[in-house]
Structure 1
Amino acid sequence: IFEKPILKFASSEADNLERSTGVGVIAECAANMGATVTPYTGKLMHLLLKRLSDTDNETKSNAAYATGQLILHSTDSSTYLPQYETILHKLAPMLQIPEARIKDNASGCLCRMILAHPDRVPLAQVLPALVDLLPLKEDYEENTPVYQCIYKLYEQGEPTINSLTSKVIPVLESVLSPPEDQLSDETRELVRKLVHNLYSANQALFAANPNALKLAGIL
């Protein structure tokens, strides 16, 4: 699948559209190939690390999406894990760019990295910044890894996400509200389940957000 023309487009230094399109194709391949993307991990990671610092925002956004998908699906952790710190360093400035799609894709990448290897991400530093960006504004597909990640962290009793619950609950209310296309059916059920779990643990948490309980089918 990763024929030379695709990598050539993604490596182009002259044409922004060629780069963004090439990286976008790589991202979709990584998202849909599952573990069969593994043999390409080294070659793709080398390219994506460069594109995460691209001068073109569309290319940079696609690179964040592609990087997260590669990490989530590749089984070659010995190749990508040494790059975790570098990737986090490159994602950080994306979270400050005004364009919503870049923030959304950077958030999705962060969450896929956490899902794959939570022990390799400084959660105490990353999670407050991530929660402050929620709810996502444009690329709703990225809500799937975001809420899978948040759910898993609560399930594990992760202390930083627990400390952010007062900020998380209004976000959960927001994504359960219209527009409906914010969440896939599966992710919506996961968010509802999270609301149920949080309410069961401490009903007082929802004193300021009773509508979240209605949206989750509790009231």
Structure 2
Amino acid sequence: QDKGDSEGGEGDGGEEAEGDELLIETAGEIVPHLGKVMPPQEFAQHYTQFLPMFVNLTKKQASDAQRSFGVGMIAECMASAGPCLPAYAQQLLSLLNTLAQDQNDEVRNNAIFALGELVYHGRDCIYPYYGEILQTLSNAVVNETNSGALDNICGALARLIITNVSRVPLEQVIPVFVRYLPLREDFEENKWVYQSLTNLYQMGSQPLLQNLNPVIKACAISLHGNQIETENRSLILNLLQCCHRDFPTECTRAAGELPEPVALTLKQACVS
């Protein structure tokens, strides 16, 4: 340590902290992109180095912005980290289950999104924890008022259904799931929501068929509001056409309960 460092005192400490924060933010920008261009096994080596840094950002002494950023980066890396997720499944679940109850909206929102991504990309290694995750989501939805977090709860439930429906107690889950549809804010989750509903319809799920009315109305509202990417619109259109073919009276009833412009969208979709 030279004289300039020893006399810098608190100022240099502050500059060092700012430098560390910049390094972390830069890593956060780069790491998810690395995952898209690197072979999975190669990215896994980098993931094991960066994950502790992102986890450290989520600790209570960090600012809300840092904690939100940290858990957001954990979520963003899930898709590329698939091969090494089994080694970190328990650690990540424990962290995310805790952060899903956080007081800060953004931290909570990102943690719930990350849980869904862990379910989808972790696959087999997460199956034993479905009950624990469902309990976390059930606890979260009771008092949740943040639109983004509610949408991500729906997205996480959808991923659970898509990934391994046999481990989801549909009789309990479906009535709650459809109660929070259509999504309010985070429309990127719609592709997961409508894929899961399509899967359930195709398997003839009785809990879904008993709740068709809110499902049909959610489809119509999402379609009318252009709340799903163009490449995924067919999910909604196909589901509505199947409902109209098999349960035309349900579609008629739903149309009668919707505002006229939305009802018109529904009618057009059913016969297109």
Query: What is aligned with 1:94?
Result: 140
Would the aligned equivalents of 1:10 and 1:23 in 2 still touch at CA under 8 Å?
Answer: yes
SS at 2:145 equivalent: coil
Structure 1 position 139, deviation (Å): 0.5
Maintained 8 Å contact 1:37/1:70: no
Higher helix proportion (structure 1 or 2): 2
Counterpart contact for 1:91–1:106, Cα < 8 Å: yes
Q: Is the 8 A contact 2:58 2:68 kept in 1?
A: yes
The 5 A counterparts of 1:38-49 are 38-39=85-86, 40-49=88-97
d(CA) in 1 for partners of 2:60, 2:69: 10
Q: Deviations over 1:178-203 (max 9, x none)?
A: 2x2x1012321110001111111122
Give the superposition deviation at 1:50: 2.0
Amino acid at match of 2:219: L
CA drift of 1:34 comes to 6.4
**Pairing 1:218–2:271 present:** yes
Structure 2 counterpart SS, 1:74: helix
For 1:118 and 1:8, the matched residues in 2 are separated by 34
Give the secondary structure class of the aligned counterpart of 1:134.
coil
1:48/1:66 contact within 8 Å kept = yes
Give the length in aligned residue pairs.
213
Q: C-alpha separation between the residues in 1 aligned to 2:90 and 2:140?
A: 23
CA contact (8 A) 1:37 1:73 kept: no
* Number of the residue aligned with 1:196: 241
Q: Per the alignment, in what secondary structure is the counterpart of residue 207 of structure 1?
A: helix
Superposition deviation, residue 10 in structure 1: 2.3
Residue 104 of structure 1 and its aligned partner are, at CA, apart by: 0.5
For residue 186 of structure 1, the aligned residue among 223, 228, 231 is: 231
Residues 41, 76 of structure 1: 8 Å contact kept: no
Q: Percent identity?
A: 31
Q: CA RMSD in A?
A: 1.9
C-alpha separation between the residues in 2 aligned to 1:213 and 1:33?
41
Unaligned runs of at least 5 residues, structure 1: none
What is the Cα deviation at residue 217 of structure 1?
6.2
Q: Is the Cα contact below 8 Å between 2:120 and 2:163 reproduced in 1?
A: yes
Deviations 1:98-150 (A, max 9, x none): 11011001111111111111121111111111111111000001111111100
In structure 1, what is the Cα distance between the partners aligned to 2:105 and 2:139?
12
CA contact (8 A) 1:12 1:18 kept: no
Partner of 1:11: helix, strand, or coil?
coil
CA distance in 1, matches of 2:123, 2:247: 38
| Larger RCO (alpha carbons 8 Å, 6+ apart) | 1
TM-score for the superposition, normalised by structure 2 = 0.73
Partner of 1:112: 159
Q: 1:37/1:194 Cα in 2 relative to 1: closer, same or farther (>3 Å)?
A: farther
Where do 5+ consecutive residues of structure 2 fail to align? 1-46, 256-262
Change (3 A) 1:18 1:73: same
Contact 2:194–2:235 (8 Å) recurs in 1: yes
AA aligned opposite 1:146: V
Pairing partner for 1:15 from 63, 66, 82:
63
Distance in 1 (CA, whole Å) between partners of 2:127 and 2:104 is 26
TM-score by length of structure 1 reads: 0.89
Q: Which residue of 2 aligns with 1:65?
A: 113
The structure having more radius of gyration, on CA atoms, is: 2
Residue aligned with 2:271, SS: coil
